[in-house]
Amino acid sequence: MSTNRIVHLSKMTGTAGSEGHLLALLPGLRARHVDARLWILVEPDNPVQSYVDQASALGIPTRRFVIHRHVDPGLWRRLAAAFRDAQPDIVHTHLLHADLYGIPAARRARVPYVVCSRHNDDRFRRRLPMRWLHRWLWRQTDRGIAISDAIRQFAIDIEGAPARRITTIHYGLDPAAVAAPPDARAALRAALGVPAGSPVVGSVCRLVEQKGLLYGLRGFARAVARFPEAQYVIAGDGPLRAALEAEAARLGLAQNVHFLGWRDDARALMAGLDVLLAPSLWEGFGLVFLEAMALGVPVIASRVSAIPEAVIDGETGWLVPPRDPAGIGAALGDALADPSAARLRGERGRQRLAGHFSPAAMVERTLAVYRGLEASA
């Protein structure tokens, strides 16, 4: 492959699905002798130092560019100059800000090829001005990668992506990278101050509307009526935290729901769960589902977007309609009433991860997209 230097560009405020994906993808590319670099767009007061440290520990060269405001004309010029200096063969963008700034800057710098990845189907992308913007961006892009079949179809139908130029490549995850501490269950219950045998449900996500946690709380309240000893841990933070805390209090769940904030040990925490609850209203794919599979934790999730590509109803977890507390409560009731059957679904998830979502396959398919650029030139 002669296209050897590839700059991946993404805006970041923390570590979520797309950010975790890059920590898996770029080391795999570098192991295949590709000079893969990560350039990060950051806000002035949030240098995402912890993430940069993780990337550096994995041998990924990083560089940060500050976005001074939502519309920063100077950033186009700074990126174009940086691209001219670095002379990448490909610029590969991730998420909206990277697309908006990186694609025009790459073209201005005469980078040979531009690839963009679609990680989500956020509702704002359906607005008419955003549709026009994305159609323009797709005209400047040589190839696209969608992280799920659902996102690929969304990009074609809503954004005007040419079907022949966008392919699906699911996230991949090495189970060895998500090893569960041997005492995870006991440690979590001890930290919560609850009996060792207490059932614990958890959500690990940003506290935003997309994640549907209001419905999760209401569904959990129905389960607590049957299992009063059940606990619900919510690991994450965001603008809805106060509203969610108020809803938990309104539902009489103050002693059963635990808001833990952002956790650096989220995977260890997840390993102590009986079930992962993900009542999302929309979801690009969700690296958290692969993490749960690696840990053998069954999943209750909404039947929306790409989630059914990861969670198989009745096999690796439960799928329920979105915004459906009754459905969530019923699924939680099933999981908590028969822990052995729930653990079996978790084990099937572990097997599905190994068979369908390997990092090696993700890296090889990404390389195939890059090689295809040369073949079609």
We report the CATH number of the domain holding residue 22 as: 3.40.50.2000
- Beta-carbon neighbour count of residue 33 at 10 Å? 9
Query: Which pLDDT tens digit goes with each residue over 315-330?
Result: 999 999 999 999 999 9
Query: What is the C-alpha to C-alpha distance for residues 300 and 208, in angstroms, rounded to an integer?
Result: 18
Query: What is the C-alpha to C-alpha distance for residues 342 and 335, in angstroms, rounded to an integer?
Result: 5
Res 15 pLDDT > 80: no
28 and 157 inside one domain? yes
Query: Which pLDDT tens digit goes with each residue over 131-159?
Result: 999 999 999 999 999 999 999 999 999 99
Res 376 pLDDT > 80: no
166 and 186 inside one domain? no
Closest listed residue to residue 284, CA positions, set 119, 76, 65: 119
154 and 194 inside one domain? no
- Cα 341 → chain centroid: 27
304 and 260 inside one domain? yes
340 and 234 inside one domain? yes
Domain of 80, in residue numbers: 5-172+358-376
Query: Which pLDDT tens digit goes with each residue over 146-196?
Result: 999 999 999 999 999 999 999 999 999 999 888 888 899 999 999 999 999
Closest listed residue to residue 305, CA positions, set 196, 106, 151, 74: 151
Res 1 pLDDT > 80: no
118 and 242 inside one domain? no
- The residue among 126 and 14 whose pLDDT is bigger is 126
310 in Cβ contact with 171 (< 8 Å): no
220 in Cβ contact with 328 (< 8 Å): yes
205 and 111 inside one domain? no
Cα distances from 346 to residues 30, 49, 175, 296, in angstroms, run 32, 34, 13, 4
Please state the domain count of the chain.
2
186 and 114 inside one domain? no
86 and 214 inside one domain? no
| Average pLDDT score over the chain | 94
